[in-house]
C-alpha cells in the first residue's frame, strides 16, 4: 500500500524531540536520498524507521507532499506500533521532469495514542532539498553507476574523485574518438543546464 500526493504544511516541526514519543531511526534531520542530484525518471529511495520504547500503543499515519515535478511515495502509510516494536518505511522519490528549481518536499508523520478516540495527534516532518535533476534524453544518455563508484555516460567512464575537498565525478575520454567526443559534449551540456540555466 502506498501513500502519495497531499498538500502539506511547511509549519510542521522537523525536530523529533521528547514530545514525539517514538524514536526516529536513524536520527536524521532531513531526507537526503544519498545524493544532491536526481536523474530524471530514476527512483531514489531512503528507508527510515521508528522504535516505540514507551508503554503505549500508537497509530502512525504517513503522508507525502505533492508536486507536478516529482512523485513521492511510501511503501506503507498506516501503522499500529505496540510497546517495543520497530517499523520501517521506504520512501521513494522520482522526478518526472528536468528541473533546477522547486526541488523540495516533505514527508509528514502524524502520531496518536491508540486509546484516544478523536484525540490530538502529534505531527512532525522530514524534508528534502536537491540541487538539480539531470535530464535523460534517451537510455544511452542516462548516467549509470556501479558498486565500485564508477559512472558511465554513453561510452565515457567516470570515477568519483576529490577536488578542493569536494566530491566530483572525473570523466576521461579519447579526443580523437568522435563518439566519445559526442558523449563528452552531452555531459558538458547537462552541467550547463543545471548550473547555468538561461
Q: What pLDDT is recorded for position 66? A: 87
Q: Please count the residues of the chain.
A: 198
Nearest to 27 by CA among 53, 56, 51, 54: 51
Q: Among residues 134, 152, 186, which one ends one of the domains? A: 134
Looking at the structure, tell me whether residues 154 and 86 fall in a common domain.
no
Looking at the structure, tell me whether residues 39 and 78 fall in a common domain.
yes
Task: Say how many domains are in the chain.
Answer: 2
Degrees to nearest 5, angle at CA 70 with 171 and 3: 130
Looking at the structure, tell me whether residues 116 and 157 fall in a common domain.
no
Q: Among residues 134, 152, 183, which one ends one of the domains? A: 134
Q: What pLDDT is recorded for position 165? A: 72
Q: What pLDDT is recorded for position 94? A: 92
Looking at the structure, tell me whether residues 57 and 93 fall in a common domain.
yes
Q: Assign residue 61 the CATH number of its domain.
A: 2.60.40.10
Range of the domain at 79: 3-134
Looking at the structure, tell me whether residues 112 and 16 fall in a common domain.
yes
Q: What pLDDT is recorded for position 188? A: 67
Looking at the structure, tell me whether residues 38 and 97 fall in a common domain.
yes
3-class state of residue 141 by DSSP: helix
Q: What pLDDT is recorded for position 134? A: 76
Q: What pLDDT is recorded for position 152? A: 61
The C-alpha cell 535530464 sits at 135
Looking at the structure, tell me whether residues 49 and 94 fall in a common domain.
yes
Looking at the structure, tell me whether residues 114 and 59 fall in a common domain.
yes
Contact in structure between 119 and 135 (CB atoms under 8 Å): no
Looking at the structure, tell me whether residues 83 and 153 fall in a common domain.
no
Looking at the structure, tell me whether residues 110 and 53 fall in a common domain.
yes
Q: Supply the pTM of this predicted model.
A: 0.65
Q: What pLDDT is recorded for position 58? A: 94
Q: Among residues 89, 107, 134, which one ends one of the domains? A: 134
Looking at the structure, tell me whether residues 123 and 157 fall in a common domain.
no
Determine the number of helices (DSSP H) and then strands (DSSP E) in the chain: 1, 15
Q: What pLDDT is recorded for position 182? A: 73
Q: What pLDDT is recorded for position 34? A: 86
3-class state of residue 149 by DSSP: coil
Q: What does the pLDDT profile of the chain (198 residues) look like in tens digits?
A: 344 444 455 678 999 988 999 999 999 999 999 888 888 888 999 999 999 999 999 999 999 988 888 999 999 999 999 999 999 999 999 988 777 776 889 999 999 998 766 667 899 999 999 888 877 654 444 455 555 556 666 556 667 677 677 666 666 666 677 766 776 677 666 655 444 444
Looking at the structure, tell me whether residues 42 and 106 fall in a common domain.
yes
Amino acid at each position: 500500500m502506498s501513500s502519495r500526493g497531499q498538500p502539506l504544511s511547511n509549519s510542521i516541526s522537523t525536530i523529533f524531540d521528547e514530545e514525539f514519543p517514538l524514536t526516529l531511526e536513524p536520527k536524521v534531520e532531513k531526507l537526503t536520498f544519498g545524493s544532491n542530484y536526481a536523474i530524471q525518471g530514476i527512483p531514489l529511495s531512503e528507508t527510515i524507521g521508528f522504535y516505540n520504547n514507551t508503554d503505549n500503543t500508537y497509530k502512525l499515519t504517513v503522508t507525502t507532499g505533492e508536486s507536478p515535478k516529482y512523485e513521492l511515495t511510501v511503501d506503507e502509510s498506516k501503522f499500529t506500533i505496540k510497546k517495543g516494536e520497530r517499523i520501517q518505511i521506504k520512501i521513494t522519490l522520482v522526478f518526472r521532469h528536468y528541473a533546477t528549481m522547486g526541488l523540495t518536499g516533505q514527508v509528514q508523520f502524524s502520531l496518536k495514542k491508540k486509546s484516544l478516540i478523536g484525540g490530538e495527534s502529534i505531527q512532525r516532518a522530514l524534508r528534502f532539498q536537491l540541487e538539480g535533476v539531470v535530464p535523460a534524453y534517451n537510455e544511452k544518455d542516462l548516467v549509470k553507476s556501479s558498486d565500485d563508484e564508477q559512472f558511465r555516460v554513453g561510452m565515457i567512464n567516470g570515477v568519483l574523485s576529490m577536488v578542493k575537498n569536494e566530491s566530483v565525478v572525473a570523466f576521461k575520454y579519447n579526443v580523437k574518438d568522435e563518439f566519445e567526443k559526442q558523449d563528452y559534449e552531452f555531459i558538458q551540456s547537462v552541467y550547463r543546464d543545471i548550473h547555468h540555466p538561461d
